[in-house]
Amino acid sequence: MLGGIDFGLMDPETYRDMSATKVITADTYDDDGYPIDMGLMDPRLGVIDPGLECRTCGSHSGSCNGHFGHIELAAPVIHVGFTKLIRRLLRSTCRECGKLALDEAQRDEFRDRYERAKELGDDEHDVLKAAVRQARKASTCPFCGEPQADIKHEKPTTYYEVQDVLSGDYSERIAAAMQPDEEEDDPGTSPQELADETDIAVDRINEIMAGEFRPRKEDRRAIEKALDVDLTE
């Protein structure tokens, strides 16, 4: 008596071993009307023409059920059936270390909820979905501290991170934020003082202020924090 059936995917090498032939062209027949090798009508995939014999099983068109081939993809292809799941996983895991963006206390809480759901016969998948929803709220990874960006899905199969875009007038904004403000009794900030506060070399500060060097993400954030200024669009 069967207790259940598991459906899944085999590894790529297994598919290659089971394949009758590699398909490298979409062409079907040559000029003489014969099936092209490694094409869509390769005789190793089965035959439909009277008089031809399948080069895999030796049968003719009436008795050959056909055999599958394989195509080597030039780049990974996303299965459209998993687009939502992929986005959820990308949003809930750290872009740097790959860990689920839940701290230890949150992990313990969801582990307890998961075990309790199993004991009560509830759907434990609801707990997993709740854990993913909580993890995607994290602005930084609780383990490595890497800032996390939101993930957008552009149908059908494109994913991209929503990043802050550096403003075109970033150097002017930095210079303005460094100016003295008499009303606030602020003497202003010199390039050397900004360098000391941000741990960025003063020569690099001068290059950034002159518009000769676009600040790296971590440098931009350090400057924004030191000067209380927004350098993004």
The answer to whether position 2 is within a domain reads no
- For residues 71 and 40, what is the distance between their CA atoms, to the nearest angstrom? 10
**Phi, psi at residue 125, to the nearest 5°?**
-65, -25
Is pTM beyond 0.85? Reply is no
Overall number of domains in the chain: 3
State whether 148 and 179 are in the same domain: no
CATH number of the domain enclosing 34: 4.10.860.120
Closest CA to 22 of 34, 36, 39: 39
pLDDT of residue 209: 86
Q: Are strands 158-161 and 151-154 parallel, antiparallel or unpaired?
A: antiparallel
Lowest-confidence range among 7-21, 106-120, 158-172, 182-196?
Answer: 158-172
State whether 68 and 85 are in the same domain: no
Tell me which residue range forms the domain holding 48.
9-72
State whether 26 and 61 are in the same domain: yes
pLDDT of residue 165: 62
Query: What is the per-residue pLDDT across 168-213, written as a single tens digit (0 to 9) for each?
Result: 788 888 888 888 877 666 788 888 999 898 999 999 888 888 888 8
Which helix or strand (DSSP H or E) is residue 219 part of?
helix 217-227
The answer to whether position 157 is within a domain reads yes
State whether 66 and 88 are in the same domain: no
